[in-house]
Amino acid sequence: MKLSDIITNPIRMKIMQFLQIRGEATTKQICEELHDVPQPTLYRHINYLLKEEVLIVKSERKVRGSLERLLTLNETKFTENTDIADSAYQFLMALYGSFQRYSDKENADPYADMLSLRTYMLTLTDESYADFFKELREVIEKYSKPQDGGKSRSFSVISAPVTEEGKK
């Protein structure tokens, strides 16, 4: 099954976005966070994502006679995906989910939170473009360590060639 077919379901997308932000969680923690979705429905979608290997069990432990599973996203499911359209869709839907959750907040203040949506067109040789990305990675690495009193922000980069209809 194509990845886009798996993740187009809004409940599965919520589960994946939660794990993308959190890194790992138990089914109970997912249910507590996604309290607007009935528990049986969440369990059904989590099991589906496990069956399709979108989620994997990172560890298991016994808790009061039942088995608690620590779940995480199966990153190889996304990196092995050779369908560029599927990969782009998954990436963009994850971004969309972040913006949707942000805009749903009562106290959302895009100006104070320095929300930014920008597109820059670069016309560079392949060598210059490789240098640009190397320098960008260095800047990101410099600022990627958490700072005391810092605010977490998501920073995404999309690099794609301009199609003929995108050229002026």
With a cut of 70, say whether residue 18 has pLDDT above it: yes
- Is the pLDDT at 55 greater than 60? The verdict is yes
For 88-133, the pLDDT digits (tens) are: 777 787 778 778 888 888 999 999 989 888 888 899 999 999 999 8
Between 47 and 163, the more confident residue is: 47
CATH, residue 16: 1.10.10.10
Question: pLDDT band for position 77 (50/70/90)?
Answer: confident
Instruction: Kindly state whether residue 112 falls inside one of the protein's structural domains.
Output: no
* Domains of the chain: total: 1
Instruction: Work out the angle between the directed axes of helices 84-104 and 10-22 (0-180°, nearest 10).
Output: 80
- For the chain, what is the mean pLDDT? 84
- Contact between residue 89 and residue 4 where contact means Cβ atoms under 8 Å apart: yes
Mean per-residue pLDDT, 146-150: 85
| pTM of the complete model | 0.53
Q: Distance (Å, rounded) from C-alpha 47 to C-alpha 45?
A: 5
The range of the structural domain enclosing residue 27 comes to 3-79
**Is residue 11 domain-resident?**
yes
Residue 30 domain flag: yes
The helices-and-strands tally (H runs, E runs) of the chain is: 7, 3
